[in-house]
């Protein structure tokens, strides 16, 4: 088989989102890269999704449907889908995306590079297709992420490929053999930051994460989160971010980042209290306490990471770390009031 025809397993997790799922699948039918299988993992939908998929399956032999009895979350849902995948490359795709007909070829081509383990396309907003949703994220010394270009008008400066710290879970393509080395999504993450944790492990294994500018998809964004309480979102976002760094970073890097991150968390908690967002303030503190009470599990996870790690932090962190103005944190805080997570 020619190398540009490697099989791609497309995994989509769905929960009560039939209309967006229909649009996503319709766009996938029109892509030029045909050597794919599509695996839909339904997390107990009650909106007619399963009936719709039963009809789709009759006309699409490449469609595999997995029915979960309850909502297992993004991480576990994708892990279940992965267990049935047969492709050499694995594409994790959100159900609220619409793909360009030529998006997959450039991603696959970039993955032919032996040093690269994962790639993401240019993700534009929908229906505002001139606004960037994501071109990848960088690490900040505070422990937060810098979402380069997010909510900015698309421009020439975003048309250059680059190494990034983390892909966005809305669309990320990885080599299956890399996943076999670093593991899949952490089951402790019901939702949020799970893709960053996975990308972090890819970097630790000695492979790189790359942004491919000439591959394009469109993302509606936040469709599933609309069904969730803002405090629930913030708890899992903060909990998983702290957990990721504690289990993945070397001790000297933890000492550099975690105290600063916790200080930011306390300042944010105070701001939530001043703005009468008591449930959000409690969510941040609950996230910190959760990590404190799971030290025993953390030590077990760090042993697993030790087996994965092939390079020290200093090997890759300078390339994927950025500096930002203090105003960036203000915008993060304001966005968090409506449920946006870092």
Within 8 A by CB and 6+ apart from 309, the residues are 204, 205
**Predicted local distance difference test score (pLDDT) of residue 188:** 82
**Predicted local distance difference test score (pLDDT) of residue 223:** 58
List, for residues 93-106, the tens digit of each pLDDT value: 999 999 999 999 99
Return the structure tokens found at 242: 């702290």
Radius of gyration of the chain from its Cα atoms, rounded to whole angstroms: 19
Inform me whether the pLDDT recorded for 2 exceeds 90: no
SS (H, E, C) the chain: CCHHHCCEEEEEEECCCHHHHHHHHHHHHCCCCCCEEEEEEEECCCCCHHHHHHHHHHHCCCEEEEEECCCCHHHHHHHHHHCCCCCCEEEEECCCEEECCCCHHHHHHHHCCCCEEEEEEEEEECCCCCEEEECCEEEECCCCEEECCCCCECCHHHCCCEECCECCCCEEEEEHHHHHHHCCCCCCCCCCCHHHHHHHHHHHCCCEEEEEEEEEEEECCCCCHHHCCHHHHHHHHHHHHHHHHHHHCCHHHHHHHHHHHHHHHHHHHHHHHHCCCHHHHHHHHHHHHHHHCCHHHHHHHHHHHHHHCCCCHHHHHHHHEECCCHHHHHHHHHHHCCCCCC
> pLDDT band at 221, cuts 50/70/90?
confident
Inform me whether the pLDDT recorded for 128 exceeds 80: yes
**Predicted local distance difference test score (pLDDT) of residue 187:** 84
Segment 268-276 mean pLDDT: 96
**Predicted local distance difference test score (pLDDT) of residue 164:** 98
Window from 135-139, 176-180, 335-339 with minimum mean pLDDT: 335-339
**Contact assessment for residue 25 and residue 51, using Cβ atoms and an 8 Å cutoff:** no
CA distances, 34 to each of 12, 21, 37, 61 (Å)? 17, 19, 9, 13
- What distance, in Å, lies between the first and last C-alpha atoms of the chain? 41
**Predicted local distance difference test score (pLDDT) of residue 67:** 95
**Contact assessment for residue 237 and residue 143, using Cβ atoms and an 8 Å cutoff:** no
Segment 291-299 mean pLDDT: 96
**Contact assessment for residue 173 and residue 111, using Cβ atoms and an 8 Å cutoff:** yes
pTM for the full model? 0.93
**Predicted local distance difference test score (pLDDT) of residue 191:** 79
């Amino acid at each position: 088989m020619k190398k540009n025809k490697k099989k791609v397993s497309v995994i989509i997790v769905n929960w009560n989102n039939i209309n967006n799922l229909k649009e996503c699948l319709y766009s996938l039918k029109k892509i030029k890269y045909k050597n794919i299988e599509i695996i839909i993992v339904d997390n107990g939908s009650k909106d007619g999704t399963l009936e719709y998929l039963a009809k789709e399956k009759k006309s699409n032999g490449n469609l595999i449907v997995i029915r979960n009895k309850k909502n297992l979350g993004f991480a576990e849902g994708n892990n279940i889908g992965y267990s049935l995948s047969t492709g050499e490359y694995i594409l994790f795709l959100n159900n609220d995306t619409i793909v360009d007909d030529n998006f997959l070829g450039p991603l696959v081509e970039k993955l032919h590079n032996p040093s690269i383990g994962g790639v993401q396309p240019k993700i534009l907003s929908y229906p505002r297709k001139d606004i960037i949703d994501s071109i990848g994220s960088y690490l900040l010394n505070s422990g937060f992420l810098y979402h380069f270009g997010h909510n900015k008008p698309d421009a020439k400066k975003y048309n250059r490929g680059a190494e990034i710290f983390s892909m966005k879970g809305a669309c990320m393509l990885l080599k299956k053999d890399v996943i076999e080395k670093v593991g899949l999504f952490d089951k402790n993450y019901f939702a949020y930051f799970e893709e960053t944790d996975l990308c972090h492990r890819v970097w630790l294994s000695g492979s790189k994460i790359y942004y491919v500018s000439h591959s394009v998809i469109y993302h509606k964004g936040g469709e599933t989160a609309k069904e969730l309480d803002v405090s629930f979102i913030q708890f899992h976002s903060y909990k998983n971010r702290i957990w990721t760094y504690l289990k993945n970073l070397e001790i000297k890097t933890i000492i550099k980042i975690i105290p600063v991150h916790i200080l930011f968390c306390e300042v944010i908690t105070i701001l939530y209290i001043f703005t009468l967002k008591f449930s959000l303030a409690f969510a941040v503190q609950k996230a910190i306490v959760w990590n404190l009470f799971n030290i025993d599990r953390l030590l077990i996870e760090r042993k697993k990471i030790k087996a994965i790690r092939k390079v020290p932090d200093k090997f890759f962190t300078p390339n994927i770390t950025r500096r930002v103005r203090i105003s960036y944190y203000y915008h993060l805080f304001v966005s968090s009031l409506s449920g946006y997570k870092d």
